[in-house]
Amino acid sequence: MTKIKVGIVGTGFIGPAHIEALRRLPNVEVAALCEVTIELAEAKAKQLGIPRWYTFDELMKQDDIECVHICTPNFLHYSQSKAALLAGKHVVCEKPLAKDLHEAEELVELAAKSGKVNAVHFNLRYYPLVRQMKTMREKGDLGEVYSIIGSYLQDWLFYATDYNWRLEPDKSGDSRAIADIGSHLMDIIEYITGLKTVEVMADFNTVHPTRKKPLKAIETYSGKMLQPEDYADVNITTEDHANVLLRFDNGNRGSITVSQVSAGRKNQLKLEISGSKKTFAWNSEAPNEVWLGNREQANQVLMRDPSLAYPEASAIMTFPGGHNEGFPDTSKQLFKEVYAAIEQGKQPEKPSYPTFADGYRELLICEKILESTRKQAWVKI
């Protein structure tokens, strides 16, 4: 078997997650990585067991690297994705696709002209029971969608001493909680329900208007603490917490709450979708079961089991029922579909995976949410 050679751009938190998922695919070889300096690239490559290391510009010159994964801070996504497409490579980009709509639109157009496979890492779509809920809705099991309640809660920025590059607008953009994790939530809502969000009303809150930036490097999610003299005060302008009211194109309503300061919530996305026939309720911290609410019969809990799911959902299940699948499996299943397209050499007419166009859509929604909180008014999308 001739394997597709892949280059990884960036090795922070999410880069190694991509690498681990890719190594589980039989038709893929993680052949190279790049970092900001050749010294760091060499150190990371040896740590991660990758044979070749480069700076970004040198990686782009490697003709045998067919696809690159952009796993860098947000402000680099546009320039690096553009450079990769122009170098004739397929691209998988972390979200958000770019820092603004103009950049995202350019990438969508460039990707379409190139014909190269392009994908955005909205991996949470690939929990099998998310696909099951989508398929149940498509087959009429849910009925008309009446209302949607969603939340995405984390606590990794709970303390004023918690700090990360995502807190700095020049690196991550003017929205943080909504752009970082709210984009996953909005994507998964539209993915499952098939609805489009047409209007938003948002209210943001910055719980810690001043944070303590460490003067020494600390890894994301490490929970490490330094001494008082090791911090500098930094003013924070992006949101720690956000509430958003939603209006959908079927005339019905929803609401979401997004927070990065909810103690004890490590990475919890929750959804409750109420339809004219039943309700779906799902929690990403217990992703192998979905609650099905009924009016005139007993409620049900469906466990993740390929023998009980629709074929569309079973297709992204690797193990039998009772053998739990979780976060690392979502990336594997997404990449499995992406690399099936890469084997064909071009973007399919109707991709099953999230594309740059989906990245543009979520950036549009996030920008309208940001506009709404600034205006304190409803904003149309």
Q: What is the mean pLDDT of the segment spanning 35-51?
A: 97
Written as six digits, the tokens of 361 are 């859509």
* pLDDT band per the 50, 70, 90 thresholds, residue 214: confident
> Does the pLDDT at position 267 exceed 90?
yes
Report the C-alpha gap between 70 and 361 in whole angstroms: 19
| pLDDT for the residue numbered 224 | 62
Q: How many CB atoms lie within 10 A of CB 356?
A: 25
Q: What is the mean pLDDT of the segment spanning 32-45?
A: 97
> Does the pLDDT at position 57 exceed 60?
yes
> Does the pLDDT at position 33 exceed 90?
yes
pTM score, whole prediction: 0.93
| pLDDT for the residue numbered 173 | 86
* pLDDT band per the 50, 70, 90 thresholds, residue 172: confident
> Does the pLDDT at position 221 exceed 70?
no
Q: What is the mean pLDDT of the segment spanning 13-37?
A: 97
Q: What is the mean pLDDT of the segment spanning 159-164?
A: 91
> Does the pLDDT at position 220 exceed 60?
no
Long-range contacts of 242-245 (CB under 8 A, 24+ apart): 242/177, 242/178, 242/182, 242/202, 242/203, 242/204, 242/205, 242/369, 242/373, 243/202, 243/203, 244/178, 244/182, 244/200, 244/201, 244/202, 244/203, 244/369, 244/372, 245/200, 245/201, 245/202
More confident residue, 170 or 209: 209
| pLDDT for the residue numbered 227 | 74
Over its C-alpha atoms, the chain yields an Rg (Å, rounded) of: 21
> Does the pLDDT at position 40 exceed 90?
yes
> Does the pLDDT at position 77 exceed 60?
yes
Which range (86-95, 211-220, 293-302, 336-345) has the least confidence?
211-220
> Does the pLDDT at position 141 exceed 90?
yes
* pLDDT band per the 50, 70, 90 thresholds, residue 153: very high
| Cβ-count burial 273-288 (b if 16+ within 10 Å, e if not) | bbbeebbbbbebeebb
Please state, rounded to an integer, the average pLDDT across all residues of the chain: 95
Residue where the block lists tokens 């398929």: 135
Report the C-alpha gap between 42 and 35 in whole angstroms: 9
